[in-house]
Amino acid sequence: MIKKIKFGIAAGSVCILVILINCLLFGKLFPYSPVIVGFSRHELASTVVYIQRGADTPDLSRIDGLIPDVENFHKWKFLSKPRIFIFKDKKSYYQRSMSRARFCAYYNGDIVISPWALQEAEKGEISLEIYLTHELSHSLIHQHSGMIRAFHYPAWLLEGIAMYSADQMGTSWYPSKEQTCDYIRQGNFMPPEYFKTGKEDRIHLDVEYRTTFIYSEFACIVDYLVEKYGMDRFLSYVKELTASSNHDQVFKKTFDIEFSDCIQDFRESAIQGQHAGKQSSHPDDAQQSRSGLFIQ
Whether residue 275 is predicted with pLDDT greater than 80 in this model: the reply is no
Going by pLDDT thresholds of 50, 70 and 90, the confidence category of residue 242 is: very high
Residue 167 has pLDDT above 80, yes or no: yes
Give me the pLDDT at residue 288, please.
Answer: 36
Cα dist from 7 to 4, 10, 13, 21, 109, whole Å: 5, 5, 10, 21, 39
pLDDT tier for residue 19 given thresholds of 50, 70 and 90: low
Better-predicted residue by pLDDT, 177 or 291? 177
Of the two residues 282 and 270, the one the predictor is more confident about is 270
Share above pLDDT 90 across residues of the chain, in percent, rounded to a whole number: 75
In this predicted structure, which of 22-31, 82-91, 156-165, 230-239 has the lowest mean pLDDT? 22-31
- Say if residue 286's pLDDT is above 50: no
pLDDT at 293 over 90: no
Q: Which of 34, 137, 51, 57 is nearest to 86 (CA)?
A: 51
Q: What confidence score (pLDDT) does residue 281 get?
A: 38
Per-residue pLDDT averaged across 39-60, rounded? 95
Cβ neighbors of 121 (< 8 A, separation 6 or more) are 58, 127, 128, 131, 296
Tell which wins on pLDDT, 116 or 273: 116
Averaged pLDDT, 142-164: 96
Alpha helices in 101-246 (DSSP H): 115-123, 128-145, 147-152, 155-165, 177-185, 210-229, 231-240
Whole-angstrom distance, CA of residue 217 vs CA of residue 231:
18
Could you report the per-residue pLDDT of 70-99, keeping only the tens digit for each? 999 999 999 999 999 999 999 999 998 878
Q: Which CATH class name applies to 23-150?
A: alpha beta
Domain locations in the chain as residue ranges: 23-150, 154-287
Q: How far is CA 70 from CA 43, 111, 139, 180, 255, in A?
A: 19, 15, 10, 24, 24
Distance (Å, whole) CA 42 – CA 57: 11
pLDDT confidence bin for 21, thresholds 50/70/90: low
Q: What is the pLDDT of residue 170?
A: 97
* Average pLDDT along the chain: 87
pTM equals: 0.86
- Which position has the higher pLDDT, 11 or 194? 194
Q: Which residue has the higher pLDDT, 57 or 249?
A: 249
Ranges 173-177, 218-222, 256-260, 278-282: which has the least confidence = 278-282
Q: Quick one: pLDDT band at residue 110, thresholds 50, 70, 90? A: very high
pLDDT of residue 250: 98
What's the Cα-to-Cα distance from 119 to each of 57, 87, 95, rounded to whole Å? 11, 12, 19
User: Nearest CA to 132 among 168, 91, 95?
Assistant: 168
The CA-atom distances, in angstroms, between 249 and each of 225, 243, 295 are 16, 12, 38
- For residue 10, the model assigns a pLDDT of 57
Counting residues of the chain whose pLDDT is more than 70, the rounded percentage is 83
What's the first-to-final CA gap in the chain, in angstroms?
69
